[in-house]
């Protein structure tokens, strides 16, 4: 099993190209099930989750061709993938595939909309709370689907097709918004989704669906309207930049000191999180084709309190990384997690590096320390794993992060990108 070895103490200087967003690429790939034409996606990151979803889509009969990185292109280059679901050969998404990644459950929406049936295993994924699928099921039932849970599977039928409806989410859910949005594109009549997720990834999916012929208004706001159409065509769409990767590297620069331009990304994708980084003492500025992060390594990081919240609030997917940053703040900071329960598993691993963190329910109190010291640590989930990398970059001595397969699910060529900016980071294979 691979590990990441880090020798801390170096500032980061240079450029880091930001990849396409995993959280946008996955629903976009699933949208290919809605049409028998070819959907072409540019800027798709090369990640374990993307590879796993390709296997799942292939099981349904989707033909996938890949245009990869070319000679002399830098580390920021991503792939172009062509998806053709000419014929859906199987409407079952089996446990052995779905259990490895939660987002694969989302195929239930397009399969129901196009084929009138789907049998999808209940999902797996990161161990950050139960994250039930009741919102998905309630939304699809509102569109007329008949769904039973039996033997660990959601058995869904809509033999006469889905019908437009007015559905109000009781709480914001990005995944459920994706699924209902996709399903409603082929439903008969108008669908109104209220309390919808406003994340940029939802707007990105809506833009792609619109290019495929869907009629959607209001994406990016709490109320989305979809006028169903009889069929969708193919399209070409570029995946938006990864705002979580953007925020992660911004926090790494704030943690270590240095001057880095994050290329191919945009400030508006995560203003709240970058405001927190700025409040911690870093200089954040929009530049041509990216964002510049500068931090004087001789200055102590300032403590900042944050509360995770749906977009445009502070992203839960940056909570662990920001906690790593706050471990070296000059004072006490607080982080309150409101999205997922059980998302503080990285705390005990940060403590192995010398962090001073106490928990009270969904709030973490972080008392900054002057120094972190390298140690062996264990990644527990995707975002927690990269928080340990950030801490290791600033720790004295050597840090070894185990179970880095979590990192491979969401960060493309992390070691390469950090090394080009002066970090000492390497992957060690046993």
Q: Which two tokens stand for residue 318?
A: 């940056």
Q: What average pLDDT does this structure show over 277-303?
A: 95
Phi, psi torsion values for 196, nearest 5 degrees: -75, 155
Res. 268: pLDDT tops 50: yes
Find all residues with CB under 8 Å of 74, minimum gap 6, and list them: 17
Task: For residue 339, say whether it is annotated as part of any ligand binding site.
Answer: yes
Residues 218 and 306 in one domain: no
Task: For residue 72, say whether it is annotated as part of any ligand binding site.
Answer: no
Task: For residue 23, say whether it is annotated as part of any ligand binding site.
Answer: yes
Tens digit of each residue's pLDDT (9 = 90 or more) over 89-134? 999 999 998 888 888 999 999 999 999 999 999 885 444 344 568 9
Rg (CA), the chain: 21
Task: For residue 284, say whether it is annotated as part of any ligand binding site.
Answer: no
Residues 354 and 411 in one domain: yes
Which range marks the domain in which residue 253 is found? 3-18+241-428
Q: Which two tokens stand for residue 63?
A: 């033909």
Residues 267 and 186 in one domain: no
Residues 7 and 69 in one domain: no
Residues 110 and 145 in one domain: yes
Using DSSP bridges, classify how beta strands 38-44 and 235-238 pair: parallel, antiparallel or unpaired: parallel
Residues 252, 258, 261, 267, Cα dihedral to 10°: 60
Split at pLDDT 50, 70, 90, the class of 74 is low
User: Which candidate, 353, 352, 355, 73, places its Cα nearest to that of 335?
Assistant: 355
Q: How many domains does the chain have?
A: 2
Residues 268 and 298 in one domain: yes
Mean pLDDT of all residues belonging to the chain: 93
The CATH number of whichever domain residue 99 belongs to comes to: 3.65.10.10
Q: What share of the chain is helix, strand, coil (3-state, %, to 5)?
A: 35, 30, 40
What confidence score (pLDDT) does residue 164 get? Answer: 98
Q: Which positions are catalytic?
A: 126
Residues 162 and 52 in one domain: yes
Residues 303 and 351 in one domain: yes
Q: What is the pTM of this model?
A: 0.94
CA distances, 364 to each of 87, 306, 312, 323, 345 (Å) = 50, 10, 22, 9, 11
- Domain end call among 238, 261, 277: 238
Res. 343: pLDDT tops 90: no
């Amino acid at each position: 099993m691979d590990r990441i070895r880090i020798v801390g103490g170096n500032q980061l200087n240079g450029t880091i190209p930001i990849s396409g967003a995993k959280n946008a690429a996955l629903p976009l790939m699933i949208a290919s099930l809605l049409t028998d034409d070819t959907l072409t996606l540019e800027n798709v990151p090369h990640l374990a989750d993307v590879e796993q979803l390709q296997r799942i889509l292939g099981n349904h009969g989707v033909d996938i061709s890949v245009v990869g990185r070319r000679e002399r292109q830098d580390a920021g280059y991503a792939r172009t993938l062509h998806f053709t679901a000419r014929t859906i050969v199987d409407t079952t998404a089996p446990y052995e595939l779905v259990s490895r990644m939660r987002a694969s459950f989302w195929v239930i929406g397009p399969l129901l909309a196009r084929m009138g049936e789907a049998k999808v295993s209940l999902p797996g994924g990161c161990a950050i709370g139960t994250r039930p699928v009741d919102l998905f099921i309630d939304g699809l039932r509102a569109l007329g689907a008949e769904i039973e849970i039996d033997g660990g599977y959601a058995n869904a039928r809509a033999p006469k097709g889905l019908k437009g409806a007015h559905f109000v989410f009781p709480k914001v859910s990005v995944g459920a918004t994706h699924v209902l949005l996709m399903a409603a594109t082929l439903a008969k009549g108008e669908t109104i989704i209220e309390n919808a997720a406003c994340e940029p990834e939802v707007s990105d999916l809506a833009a792609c669906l619109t290019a495929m012929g869907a009629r959607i208004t209001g994406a990016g706001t709490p109320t989305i309207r979809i006028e169903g159409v009889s069929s969708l065509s193919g399209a070409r769409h570029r995946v938006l930049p990864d705002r979580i990767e953007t925020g992660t590297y911004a926090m790494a620069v704030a943690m270590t000191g240095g001057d880095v331009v994050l290329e191919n990304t945009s400030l508006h994708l995560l203003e709240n999180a970058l405001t927190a980084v700025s409040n911690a003492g870093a200089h954040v500025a929009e530049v041509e084709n990216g964002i510049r992060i500068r931090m004087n390594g001789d200055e102590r990081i300032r403590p900042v309190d944050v509360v995770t919240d749906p977009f445009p609030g502070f992203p839960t997917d940056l909570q662990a990384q920001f906690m790593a940053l706050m471990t070296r703040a000059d004072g006490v900071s607080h982080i309150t997690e409101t999205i997922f329960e059980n998302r503080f598993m990285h705390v005990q691993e940060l403590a192995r590096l010398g962090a001073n963190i106490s928990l009270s329910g969904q709030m973490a109190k972080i008392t900054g320390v002057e120094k972190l010291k390298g140690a062996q640590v264990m990644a527990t989930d995707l975002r927690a794993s990269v928080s340990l990398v950030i801490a290791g970059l600033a720790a004295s001595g050597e840090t070894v992060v185990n179970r880095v397969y979590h990192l491979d699910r969401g960060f493309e060529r992390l070691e390469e990108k950090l090394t080009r900016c002066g970090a000492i980071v390497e992957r060690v294979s046993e």
